[in-house]
Amino acid sequence: MKNLRKTNVLLITWFLLFGPCSAAPPTGQWTPLQIIDVNSQPWDASPRFKSKTKTFFKGPNDSSLVYAHFAPRWDMTPPIDPLGPHYHHWHEWAYVLDGDFVIHEPVSPKQKSGMLSHFTQGTWLDRPAYTLHGGVWEVGGMRPQNACTLLIFEEGDGSVVTLGPEGDHFKPDFPDKPEPYMPDWRAVKQFNHPWIVHTTTDLDWEADTKVPGRLLKWLSDDQTEGFRARLVKIPPGWEAPKKHKMSYYKQANRFVYVIYGDLVINQLSEPGAAGAPTKLTRDFFVHQAPHSLFGFGDGPVTEAGAVWLEVIYAKGLAVGGGEIEIPSHVESGAKKGAQVQVDG
């Protein structure tokens, strides 16, 4: 346990010194896993979304993975400057860790009050570019009941395009950034629709047919665009099957965010190197970049069991990368990555 704590302290110290994870591993070389204890990270000095935020991962094109916490409303006074219906030029996804919030989901720029969607703990959002969301203050009597904490990954710079005669301009979420240009929302011929799944009521756990002993909830799986999201659950005392103990991707990126329990993974700088066991608990985040080894040690890897959110991009960190590859397996003690592939 002392070694595990020491490893975690070193990882947290690395983050505080050098900032959020970078998403640019050297092509064709082995690169270490990037691990963040989100609970140990300070809150952003310039918070996002009019909430408390921790931007703990930065990717290409100003993309970012944000931990956002919204306090409960203390009165029913409408906001002075509500953000009405808007869209982004890029894809985003979100997962509610706890609490709830309410948002409009319009299907047309002519619609004044879109469908009300009540996001609760476990809700998954997969929102394509050019998807309308947000709306007026009126919500038909349905209000958020609690504080809300969620993960939000934006594949772009956080900017929005608002609708209407007074709002058809580029409105950055960041107050210190200038408006780069004036897009015309009227020129958009087709607006998209989001995919929203309430995982606690819409989905049941099912056996993972590729990895014995694991359970899955499939959230999104778009092979054409190269984007996949799942919830993964393992029981107390779970041991990784031999062929799934150590694997890597050649060009895919994988995110793991621990929602519950504990999980011990084995960090290796390259095949054949000495492993560094690291214990992950709730709110630990792992980025497995291309040619980054993700592995489990021998014997049980969890005491209480674990549940995590897993998101995979086929290439880069934006939709459109094509078919997601099958991960490659590394034999224990091997000097080079074996060309054996394991589906899981």
pLDDT, one tens digit per residue, over 219-270 is 999 999 999 999 999 999 999 998 889 999 999 999 999 999 999 999 888 8
Mean of all residue pLDDT scores within the chain? 85
Percent of the chain with pLDDT over 70: 83
Q: How confident is the model at residue 167 (pLDDT cuts 50, 70, 90)?
A: low
Average pLDDT over residues 333-341: 49
- What are the C-alpha distances in Å from 343 to residues 102, 147, 212? 38, 39, 12
Looking at residue 175, its amino acid is P
As a 3-state breakdown, the chain gives helix, strand, coil percent values, each rounded to 5, of 10, 35, 55
Instruction: Output 107 or 338, whichever has higher pLDDT.
Output: 107
Contact 153, 316 (CB under 8 A): no
Top-confidence residue, 139 or 126: 126
Q: What pLDDT is attached to residue 181? A: 67
Write down the residue that tokens 């995110």 correspond to.
255
Q: Is 62 left (phi over 0), alpha (psi -120 to 50) or beta?
A: left
The pLDDT score that the predictor gives to residue 332 is: 57
Which two tokens mark 180?
């780069």
Residue 304 tokens, joined: 């209480």
CA atoms of 142 and 121, how far apart (whole Å): 16
Phi, psi of 166 (to 5 degrees): -100, -5
How buried is 176 (Cβ within 10 angstroms: 0-12 exposed, 13-18 middle, 19+ buried)?
exposed
- Domains, the chain, with CATH or none: 2-38+204-329 (2.60.120.10), 71-199 (2.60.120)
d(CA 267, CA 156): 30
Residue 155, both tokens: 């594949």
What's the mean pLDDT in 53-81? Answer: 87
User: Which tokens go with 260?
Assistant: 């519950």
Taking residues 150-162, report their average pLDDT. Answer: 92
**DSSP annotation of 43:** P
Residue in this structure with the two tokens 């040690």, named with its chain if needed: 297
Q: Hey, what amino acid is at 183?
A: P
Contact 266, 299 (CB under 8 A): no
If one counts every other C-beta atom within 10 angstroms of the C-beta of residue 48, the result is: 18
Q: Is the per-residue pLDDT at 162 higher than 80?
A: yes
Q: pLDDT category, 27, cuts 50, 70, 90?
A: very low
The answer for 87, left when phi > 0, alpha when psi is -120 to 50, beta otherwise, is beta
pLDDT at 20: 55
**High-pLDDT (> 90) share of the chain, %:** 58
Token couple for 307? 């549940």
Element containing residue 127 per DSSP (H, E):
strand 123-127
